[in-house]
């Protein structure tokens, strides 16, 4: 009789454990605003130059701080930048589909990316450059 009670308790514990484990798989996906952005010439971000190519721009910690932006290689293996940014309103004259704005650069140097505007958002993230 005692063995039957222990077996029932053990089976019940396993079922509860499986139920709890199953509930964690239904978490909502994080909204990182991930975008793959391609450049046909070198560009610059604070402290780094990026060669022509495709890079991933995303919010690094979207659930806690949307000011932190991460830029990685297309395959996510190399992190080129993780930096705090300022929130900035989308300019009224920004063309549809344009998600990057550039600053001025001396001839022969990569143009700096000023801001990134994730799709379907009324605001974007302005990169902070040291002067």
Residues sharing a CB contact under 8 Å with residue 8, sequence separation 6 or more, in sequence order: none
CA distance 3 to 117: 64
Q: Are 53 and 39 in contact, with CB atoms under 8 Å apart?
A: yes
Residue the block writes with tokens 């499986």: 18
Residue among 100, 131, 104 at smallest CA distance from 35: 100
Task: Render the burial of 102-114: b for 16+ CB within 10 Å, e for the rest.
Answer: eeeeeeeebbbbe
- Please state the rounded mean pLDDT for residues 85-97: 92
For the chain, give every domain's residue range: 35-127
Q: pTM of the entire structure?
A: 0.74
pLDDT digits (tens, 9 = 90+) for 15-64: 343 333 333 333 334 566 899 999 999 999 999 999 999 999 999 887 77
pLDDT mean across residues, the chain: 81
Q: Are 92 and 79 in contact, with CB atoms under 8 Å apart?
A: no
CA distance 72 to 55: 6
12 pLDDT above the threshold of 60: no
Residue among 105, 90, 99, 18 at smallest CA distance from 56: 99
pLDDT digits (tens, 9 = 90+) for 104-119: 999 999 999 999 998 8
């Amino acid at each position: 009789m005692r063995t039957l009670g222990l077996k029932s308790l053990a089976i019940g514990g396993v079922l509860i454990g499986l139920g709890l484990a199953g509930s964690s798989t239904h978490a909502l996906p994080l909204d990182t605003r991930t975008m793959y952005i391609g450049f046909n010439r070198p560009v610059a971000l604070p402290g780094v130059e990026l060669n022509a190519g495709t890079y991933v721009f995303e919010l690094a910690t979207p659930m806690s701080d949307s000011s932190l932006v991460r830029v990685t290689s297309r395959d996510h293996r190399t992190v080129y930048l993780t930096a705090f940014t300022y929130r900035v309103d989308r300019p009224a004259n920004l063309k549809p589909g344009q998600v990057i704005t550039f600053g001025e650069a001396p001839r022969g140097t990569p143009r700096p990316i000023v801001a990134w505007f994730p799709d379907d958002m009324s605001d974007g993230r302005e990169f902070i450059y040291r002067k």
